[in-house]
Chain A
Amino acid sequence: MYGALWRVLPGPVWVRILLVLILLVAVVFVLFTWVFPWVDGIINPIEVTVDT
């Protein structure tokens, strides 16, 4: 899976490492901005009130 990604990326090793890092930052950005807030709205596990 990730091996295939590595082979698809062009250029010498340092270019590939750079590309992987850029991809990683992009993925984290999408997760932090859209995916995690959406997931959070679904699970909401934290309770702080007293209630019966």
Chain B
Amino acid sequence: MSAEQPPRHASRGSDRAARPRRVSVVGVLGELLLTAGALILLFLGWQLWWNDAIMAGQQSAAASDLGAEWLEEGKAARGDAPAPDPATYGDPVVGPATYGDGEAFAVMYVPRFGEDSQRRVAEGTGLNVLNSTELGIGHYPGTQMPGQVGNFAIASHRSAYGGGMHEIEQLQLGDAIYIQTADGWYTYRFRDFEYVTPSTVDVLAPVPHHPDLQPTDRVVTLTSCNPLYSTAERIIAYGVLESWQPSTAGPPAEIADVVATWGS
């Protein structure tokens, strides 16, 4: 303690002016710790809400641009001809068996996930796809392609980075999972959920969980993290192909209104 301290009864103003400024180590340490805590909370807020919302907007805009492009191509290919008869659609057309890493080849739209939930589907499940500002959904290389007999398996974030599968747990039996490619529209119907450990790669098999069986169904498999905000488990959503229509036939009637707003 300094001997020069003014007497306690001095007025507050002169007290403040006269007292030498002392910086306490504990005080500074406390302020640094408080700052660190605030920074971590701020970072979480940025990651889970701010950046998530920005990336969701970018990814959905990129997806609707691509979807609108394919839509225009379909219209141009049809020209003035009347809409094709559904009886002539035949078996689903399957595109190339593989694409370059990070190459977008499809758009997924799930009405249950809400407005602007469309996302580009690209080859590969690396961060260059999942954390991209224009992609968002990754196709597991080696699994089947949209419309193909077997398993079209894809992954996306459930929280942060645009959350392409943020609402995955909201899916209800029979919900539509639309996959659009340059060839046309594949309508899958959600069937059931499964919760597995992160190492359960059998869910990606052509017949999920039965790698030795020969597939006869056309299945879609969505994988994301579970529980929300955790990476302890994976949530798996299975769907089965219900129908297919070529791009010349336009989008499925139920979503024609929504799709018409894409790219504008």
Contacts and interface: CB of A to CB of B under 8 A. Distances in A.
B189 interface: no
A48 B224 contact: yes
A31 B31 contact: no
Contacts of A46: 157, 159-161, 225, 231
Contact of B158 (A1, A31, A40, A48): A48
A22 to B, nearest CB: 17
Instruction: Kindly state the interface size class of chain A when it binds its partner.
Output: 10 to 19
A36 B159 contact: no
Contact of A48 (B32, B39, B130, B200): B130
B113 interface: no
Interface stretch (B42-50, B56-64, B144-152, B240-248): B42-50
B interface majority secondary structure: mixed
B187 interface: no
B196 interface: yes
Contacts of B127: 44
A46 B224 CA distance: 10
A39 B32 contact: no
A50 B234 contact: yes
Interface in A1-16: 1-2, 4
Contact of B204 (A37, A40, A44, A50): A50
Interface string A13-44: 00000000000000010011000110110001
Interface in B87-129: 125, 127
Nearest to A44: B127
Contacts of A44: 127, 131
B7 interface: no
A32 B223 contact: no
Contact of B203 (A1, A37, A40, A50): A50
B231 A45 contact: yes
A36 B51 contact: yes
Given A31-B46, A32-B50, A48 B201 contact: no
B157 A48 contact: yes
B28 interface: yes
A3 to B, nearest CB: 8
Given A44-B127, A46-B157, A48-B224, A1 B27 contact: yes
A35 to B, nearest CB: 9
A38 to B, nearest CB: 11
10 contacts: A1-B27, A45-B231, A47-B198, A47-B225, A48-B225, A49-B234, A50-B198, A50-B201, A50-B204, A52-B199
Interface of A: 1-2, 4, 28, 31-32, 36-37, 39-40, 44-52
